[in-house]
A and B are shown apart, each in its own frame.
Chain A
Amino acid sequence: MGRYLMQRLGAAVTTMAAASVIIFFFIHLIPGDPLYVLLGDGSTPEQAEALRAKMGLDRPIYVQYVTWLTNVLAGDFGQSIFFQAPVLEVIADGAETSILLASITAVWVILLGVPIGMVSAVRHGSWLDQGLSGTAMLLASIPTFWVGLYLILVFAAWLGWLPSSGYPSIFEDGGLANLRHLLLPSIALAAPNAALILRLTRASMLDVAREDFVRTARAKGLPGWRIVVHHIFRNAVLTVISAFGFTFAALISEAVVTETVFALPGIGRLVVQSILRRDFPVIQGVILITVALYLVINLLVDLTYRWLDARVELE
């Protein structure tokens, strides 16, 4: 396990290092002098001089990269042009919304995707299975923002049950009741992802159901539900867990759109606004953090997988 851990960790660090080079060059690839890309047009000559010195913008490119990386590792992601504040602080302000939205969505995805996928697999081939699988594919083909807009229309505008936009922190007035602001966005965001998990659960359960040990269990005369839960599901769930990192990446992508539809003060909306405001340091910071988070999550998924399934022996 120790050796495996080191290998996986090494691979993740290598990937992150390579990704960091791409992310570093992001600023340099934007048309214009990197100095003004980082400072915006309204900067003073003094600011420009200070940044040039700090980033080493007159030095060779690899020195600039090392300088930038050293700063990033020390938690200095640069300054936001729009907010005139450190990028890390700006991102941290959106973190609560985004983390809560992702967590609530993940709960929906698991609660809906896994059990319905199980039912679909158990009733394999029936009209129920065809209906559920068909619905799942339809849901996976619907843009999240379209669902979001109609959810706003029905539950906020017509019925008035839930707020249509914004999200006040749970640490402000209202406390945990503020979470109702995240109900509609999390449903919109969960729909396509629950559909994918449903299909995955179904497919991996059907795969496992063909295995010899399942036939043995049936031959022993074990009750059907016991085979489904203990033999099939316990093995099939591994595939579902291994897809979690992938689902996380999908959640981040779609959260960009969902947060925009519901005007949520999260990191996704921050990216879109930063593009429109030409606040490039913020975009760079968000991409850097999400890539790092994605690699960490995938590493944890790999380790969990290995821990749950003793058979997995990797070279």
Chain B
Amino acid sequence: MTARLKTLLEPFLARRIALFGLIVVGVMIFAAIFAPLIAPYDPLAIDSLARLSPPTAEHWFGTDHFGRDTLSRVIHGSRLALIIGVGVVSFALLTGVPAGVASAMFPRVGAVVMRGVDVLMAFPALLLALGLIVILGQSVANAIVAIGVVYLTTTARIAYGVCLRLKAEAYVMAARSLGVGTLQTVLRHILPNMISPLLVQASFVFAFAQLGAASLDFLGLGAPPETPSWGNMLAESRIYITRAPWLLFFPGAMIILTAFSLNLVGDALRDRLDPRYRAVLGASRKN
């Protein structure tokens, strides 16, 4: 078990900055789970006497135009960031991996499904997400679906590419020639070997989901306005930028820190990955 843990942590021990990324992600998850215990104030509590206060001893990150404590709101905002990240990654993996694997195993399915993926990729990411929000309506769940569809395409392509390579491996061919069924081959021999490239993809998707969700929130089309998400905080504080420039700093810094850390983690994992899969992952990003 410890040996296994060591292999998992190895890319992070070799590169200090990636370790920093991993720690930030850990702290964020901790903050999201224990938000009500850590946050010094109620994120929704209004204090009209302390409106637009700069950072002070009572309010480390200052207060917004309703006198709500920015630090508490930022801490609670990590909950939504985590929900969006986990939601988008799950959606992308649960749709993209079956699509990619089925396409690789059955070329006829692939001809149709991968063409469909190409078609979806012709839509600029944010326009696709906005179009879906128009159809589905505005909510956190729909934001997850809208951003998830964007990354379903890149995930399907990676799963397809990796699965095609694995299919040609000697041990997979050996299993198949021994009469192991397709489903068994996929579950036993292919999926377990796809875990590392998919883990890399998951960390990038998590990172870009943060930016996508922030954009939707900023445009007023993401999480409902009363939700304390980092993007919503930026959207609300926008008009106070000259009067209270610090207001936009902290929520923005949290988005950047989260996306940056996950990018570092993804990069470190990718560099440690079997070189054969790096080419497939090279084209995985989509903005």
Contact = CB atoms under 8 A, between A and B. Distances in A.
Contacts of B241: 149-150, 152-153, 157
B282 A254 contact: no
B218 A143 contact: yes
Interface size class of B (residues with CB under 8 A): 35 or more
Given A137-B264, A143-B256, 18 more contacts: A137-B263, A138-B256, A143-B252, A145-B234, A146-B255, A152-B241, A153-B242, A250-B124, A253-B127, A254-B126, A256-B219, A257-B218, A260-B219, A271-B127, A272-B221, A275-B133, A283-B134, A287-B127
B15 to A, nearest CB: 10
A92 B47 CA distance: 48
B277 interface: no
B127 A149 contact: no
Interface in B112-161: 115-116, 118-119, 122-127, 130-131, 133-135, 137
28 contacts: A14-B115, A15-B119, A19-B123, A22-B119, A26-B131, A26-B134, A137-B260, A138-B256, A141-B259, A143-B218, A146-B252, A150-B241, A153-B242, A196-B285, A246-B286, A249-B124, A249-B125, A252-B124, A252-B127, A253-B125, A253-B127, A256-B127, A256-B219, A287-B127, A290-B124, A290-B127, A291-B122, A291-B124
Interface residues of A, number: 49
A287 B256 contact: no
Contacts of A276: 220
Interface in A212-250: 246, 249-250
A137 B267 contact: yes
B122 A295 contact: yes
Contacts, number: 132
Interface of B: 17, 115-116, 118-119, 122-127, 130-131, 133-135, 137, 207, 211, 214-215, 218-221, 234, 238, 241-242, 245, 248, 252, 255-256, 259-260, 263-264, 267, 282, 285-287
Interface of A: 14-16, 18-19, 22, 26, 29-31, 134, 137-138, 140-143, 145-146, 149-150, 152-153, 157, 192-193, 196, 203, 246, 249-250, 252-254, 256-257, 260, 271-272, 275-276, 280, 283, 286-287, 290-291, 294-295
B53 to A, nearest CB: 19
In the A-B complex, the 6 residue pairs with the smallest Cβ-Cβ separation, listed nearest first, are: A253-B126, A250-B287, A141-B259, A141-B260, A146-B252, A252-B124
